[in-house]
Structure 1
Amino acid sequence: MSSESHRFLTRRMPGGPPHEDAAVIQASLEAPERFAEIYDAYFVEIHKYVERRLGQDIADDLAAETFVAAFRQRQRYDRTRGDARAWLYGIATNLIRRHRRREVAMYKALARAGAAEAVEVREDGLDARIIALGLRPQLLQALARLNPGDRDVVLMVTLAELSYEQVAEALDIPYGTVCSRLNRARRKLREALGPSDPFEEE
């Protein structure tokens, strides 16, 4: 069994080096055009996250809306954060919450379509790992059945590759809540996958 399959539910990405995002956001209060630096640095990443969760047709609008909201909220940005990455993922995830039914319907539709058809729709990231395991439909169905808070956490860790601390910051919840939600989601996913569970250590 590959180490990649195990990492889906176990990896915890370390935080990156500190950025100068706080200084840029502060400067944008007097010179709004400076906020374009934040957009340029993170738009592609946020767009990809939204696309993986809701599909390509809505990703352009929702990713753009994330940065409009961030621009409007920039005066309240916590400058002790430094790196704006988790802040932006939090805004994007809050916007995604308006489309919960769409997200669940998409997972169910992709699961029904089967791996062959779905590869053309979503060929990277989470799906590529699951397709390789031959477990994609079952896992997508299981993701669709998670409660929204648990699904947010597991997808922020696996798709966005945020650390637990960054997820806590993004969702404005305690670190312990991130851990408990992730543990609950892992347990439910393992239960749903039954004997074909790829996440147990060899």
Structure 2
Amino acid sequence: MSSSISDQVLWDRSVAGDTDAFRDLFIRHRDAVYNYCFRRTASWDAAEDLTSAVFLEVWRGRRQLALDRESALPWLIGTASNLVRSRMRSAARRLAIERRAAPLDEIRDPAEAVSENIDSERRMAAVLAAIRRLSRGEQEVLAACVFAELDYQAAAAALRVPIGTVRSRLSRARARLQEVNRPAEAREGIDDEHLR
């Protein structure tokens, strides 16, 4: 793959049915999409499935959609965001059904998985727990700008919102996360002097 070939050229070739061009787009952006999906789900397996689904959906819909930016990444992240949201809704429904149907002792212990993956998934789950306190719009902007490392303009394109909305939601998200992460004493205005 030549890095000098633009995403637009590769996209145009892909639309014409050139599988090699699409493979080059995949190779160029798969790691970014994969990392974004992991950071949204806290699961390596889910990230792998979602990355495959993103590129499959893009391939299937390539003739109906036009690349309107220099990079295909914002569009791929937008597609990933939609698939992550759908997967989270499905997982929540499935978990609710499992909890109603299975006694607690039959629920599988995640400690059976490989220890490296468990540790990273637990850390990411803790991060996601804090992020879930944000509004949906703030979560999506934070994921696009921080997890996918898109700039404001690319995040706006990926999420189909104005750039000012991206800036304000990201600012609010950061402020709320800082508030959540401060110790309870600091949030209540109590310092060490008052605790003695």
TM-score normalised over the length of structure 1: 0.67
Alignment counterpart, residue 143 of structure 2, candidates 131, 155, 159: 155
Quick one: higher RCO (CA 8 Å, sep 6+), 1 or 2? 1
Q: Is the Cα contact below 8 Å between 1:18 and 1:82 reproduced in 2?
A: no
Structure 1 segments unaligned to the other structure (5+ residues): 1-16, 106-116, 128-135, 198-202
- How many Å apart are 1:119 and its aligned residue? 8.2
C-alpha distance in structure 1 between counterparts of 2:76 and 2:22, whole Å: 13
Moved more, 49-58 or 159-168: 49-58
C-alpha distance in structure 2 between counterparts of 1:64 and 1:149, whole Å: 25
Aligned positions, number:
159
Alignment counterpart, residue 122 of structure 1, candidates 97, 103, 120: 120
Corresponding position of 1:178? 166
- Cα distance, 1:79–1:92 mapped onto 2, change above 3 Å: closer
Q: Does 1:93 align with 2:91?
A: no
- Cα distance, 1:179–1:70 mapped onto 2, change above 3 Å: same
- How many Å apart are 1:38 and its aligned residue? 1.0
Structure 2 segments unaligned to the other structure (5+ residues): 96-114, 187-196
- Cα distance, 1:18–1:142 mapped onto 2, change above 3 Å: farther
Where 1:150 maps in the other structure, the secondary structure is helix
Where 2:132 maps in the other structure, the secondary structure is helix
Corresponding position of 1:30? 16
Equivalent residue runs for 1:97-112 within 5 Å:
97-100=85-88
Runs of 4+ in 1 over 4 A off after TM superposition: 117-120
Q: Deviations over 1:7-33 (max 9, x none)?
A: xxxxxxxxxx99611111111222331
Q: Which amino acid aligns with 1:122?
A: S
Equivalent residue runs for 1:35-114 within 5 Å:
35-54=22-41, 55-100=43-88
Matched-pair identity in %: 32
C-alpha distance in structure 1 between counterparts of 2:136 and 2:73, whole Å: 21
C-alpha distance in structure 2 between counterparts of 1:93 and 1:186, whole Å: 20
TM-score normalised over the length of structure 2: 0.68
Pair member with larger Rg: 2
- Cα distance, 1:168–1:53 mapped onto 2, change above 3 Å: same
C-alpha distance in structure 1 between counterparts of 2:179 and 2:4, whole Å: 38
Q: Deviations over 1:23-68 (max 9, x none)?
A: 1111122233121111121112211211222111212221111011
Q: Is the Cα contact below 8 Å between 1:154 and 1:185 reproduced in 2?
A: yes
